[in-house]
Chains A and B, each alone.
With several copies, the nearest count.
Chain A
């Protein structure tokens, strides 16, 4: 918990509500490992403003798991308490097709100013420190409607000017390279951390602070970010989770994964 003031909700709960707000009725989302926060956000969206939103949860490939309860592993058997399930091989096809998934929830051990994500290596690939687990499906960021990035680590090791290894492409090296690539995906749309939400400047394609979480000072974010982050004051505060949202999140999370 990185907030300075005491609140009656956790950073993860706030992040889940922020992400839920990005999801629209009728859309379809996909996510990878370590996905309790995005899973909670998807289910929250379904139970509030987006009843026909669909999502596929990790390697079980269950579709619209009921989150009874929210689980920590992306391949947990209990995720099959779900509307239905599809084979992983089909999900790989749909990710490649590129017009099925509107949202990809991404993260990384490094995330850079242009939203590129690294799950492989800090330092050189040959002699990394640390060596990350690996990219899994992150290269598919190039073929998805929009990318929502989340991380529990808002610090200068995670937020760097340029990733040491690109697992999943954000806006590449900025406007020129992004235009040249002509990818079908829309690129990163938002980043949410325990401190703030960030979007991308449509001109520079660099990360900019969009809102500060309640109780967070701008200076905290600037110091915790390893690149020059764009700011357009006055910055709003991120809306706190509503009581209804918190009720829903806590009903699906008896084990307190988000607390």
Chain B
């Protein structure tokens, strides 16, 4: 285990291809995202998995994303993603427009060393391949001779992931849904893991099939209790709708975004942020949904 600032400064190089885990309003690795903003690390390419929310919009708002590769950035029922929307409408961000099947299959190809990945017939009837020839192209099926849409492998350099539990080495357990996070860990050169709680290796060993990511794929483990706030951490707390609405309101323009970043990111440390939000997060604790392994 290392400090969050050491993890980010030693692993995330300026201009890296970064992928953020979690999906929609859930399991966003916000502690790591905020630390990247504090350190001003540019992400040469940012991938969402497949649906980004606060994890992508905040990095976009901080002006740290050169190129965005995504199939969705938004806040579901709460509204559109304000910084994504503004940058896209201004034409001031390069977007590699994708769909979910390509992101999943592209990560599979990246994880498995497959040089490219054919996509199911029919996907070529969206307009996505037309606007993203870098990720999508066509070839011939050597078995049938038919024209086939194919995708390039996705090979992120750094994955930012949240797990509810892990041991000190990084054997990680995602309680609740896994989204694409397991596949992201498999496809990425480096993995930084933020966790709600460290457990013993004995606890991991008692449910070996319940582990989501093995330690040897993980470069750094960072303790970040409440580190998904204002998004949810499955089995721990739900998303903070009030805070998210405040963000959506403030982020309507650049000035408000900057004010949000100053107040909640740049002028605070991650430890202070989590401390200041502890009461809110406590009030968002999930009702017990499932019979769970010991937390």
Contact B89 A127 (CB under 8 A): yes
A92 cross-chain contacts in B, Cβ below 8 A: 100-101, 104-105, 112
Contact A83 B171 (CB under 8 A): yes
Tell which of A34, A96, A172 has the most Cβ of chain B within 10 Å. Answer: A96
Contact B120 A86 (CB under 8 A): no
Contact A34 B77 (CB under 8 A): yes
Contact B76 A74 (CB under 8 A): yes
Contact B127 A131 (CB under 8 A): no
Tell which of A134, A138, A166 has the most Cβ of chain B within 10 Å. Answer: A134
B230 at the interface (CB under 8 A from A): no
Smallest CB–CB gap between B119 and chain A, Å? 8
Give Cα A183–Cα B126 distance, bound, in whole angstroms. Answer: 13
Contact A63 B128 (CB under 8 A): no
Known contacts A80-B176, A83-B201, A84-B171; A63/B214 CB under 8 A? yes
How many residues in A have their beta carbons less than 8 Å from beta carbons of B?
69
B281 cross-chain contacts in A, Cβ below 8 A: none
Contact B101 A84 (CB under 8 A): no
Contact A73 B76 (CB under 8 A): yes
Contact A131 B88 (CB under 8 A): yes
Contact A96 B114 (CB under 8 A): yes
Contact B100 A136 (CB under 8 A): yes
A96 cross-chain contacts in B, Cβ below 8 A: 101, 111-114, 119-120
Tell which of A36, A94, A126, A136 has the most Cβ of chain B within 10 Å. Answer: A136
B51 at the interface (CB under 8 A from A): yes
B247 cross-chain contacts in A, Cβ below 8 A: none
Smallest CB–CB gap between B138 and chain A, Å? 15
Give Cα A138–Cα B128 distance, bound, in whole angstroms. Answer: 11
Main secondary structure of the interface of B (DSSP, over half): mixed
Which one of B97, B110, B171 lies within 8 Å of A120 (CB-CB)? B97
B55 at the interface (CB under 8 A from A): no
Give Cα A130–Cα B111 distance, bound, in whole angstroms. Answer: 35
Which one of A36, A73, A184 lies within 8 Å of B25 (CB-CB)? A73
Known contacts A33-B24, A61-B177; A139/B72 CB under 8 A? no
Give Cα A49–Cα B179 distance, bound, in whole angstroms. Answer: 32
Which one of A72, A93, A165 lies within 8 Å of B112 (CB-CB)? A93
Give Cα A27–Cα B215 distance, bound, in whole angstroms. Answer: 12
Contact B101 A85 (CB under 8 A): no
Smallest CB–CB gap between B77 and chain A, Å? 4
Cβ-closest chain B residue relative to A80: B208
Known contacts A75-B177, A83-B204, A132-B80; A139/B128 CB under 8 A? yes
Which one of A75, A84, A133 lies within 8 Å of B205 (CB-CB)? A84
Give Cα A213–Cα B13 distance, bound, in whole angstroms. Answer: 49
Contact A181 B88 (CB under 8 A): no
- Mark B157-186 against chain A: 1 for CB-CB distance below 8 A, else 0: 000000000000001000011111011001
Give Cα A132–Cα B71 distance, bound, in whole angstroms. Answer: 11
A60 cross-chain contacts in B, Cβ below 8 A: 176-177
Contact A80 B177 (CB under 8 A): yes
A132 cross-chain contacts in B, Cβ below 8 A: 80
Tell which of A73, A80, A169 has the most Cβ of chain B within 10 Å. Answer: A73
Give Cα A20–Cα B184 distance, bound, in whole angstroms. Answer: 32
Contacting residues of chain B (34-84) with chain A, CB-CB under 8 angstroms: 50-51, 70-74, 76-77, 80-81, 84
Contacting residues of chain A (147-194) with chain B, CB-CB under 8 angstroms: 165-169, 172, 181, 183-185
Please report B residues at the A interface, Cβ cutoff 8 Å.
23-26, 50-51, 70-74, 76-77, 80-81, 84-85, 88-89, 91, 97-101, 104-105, 108, 110-114, 119-123, 125-128, 131, 171, 176-180, 182-183, 186-187, 189, 201, 204-205, 208-209, 211, 214-217, 232, 234-235, 238-239, 286-287, 289-290
Q: Beyond A77-B232, A97-B112: 4 further Cβ-contacts under 8 Å?
A: A73-B25, A80-B289, A131-B88, A138-B126
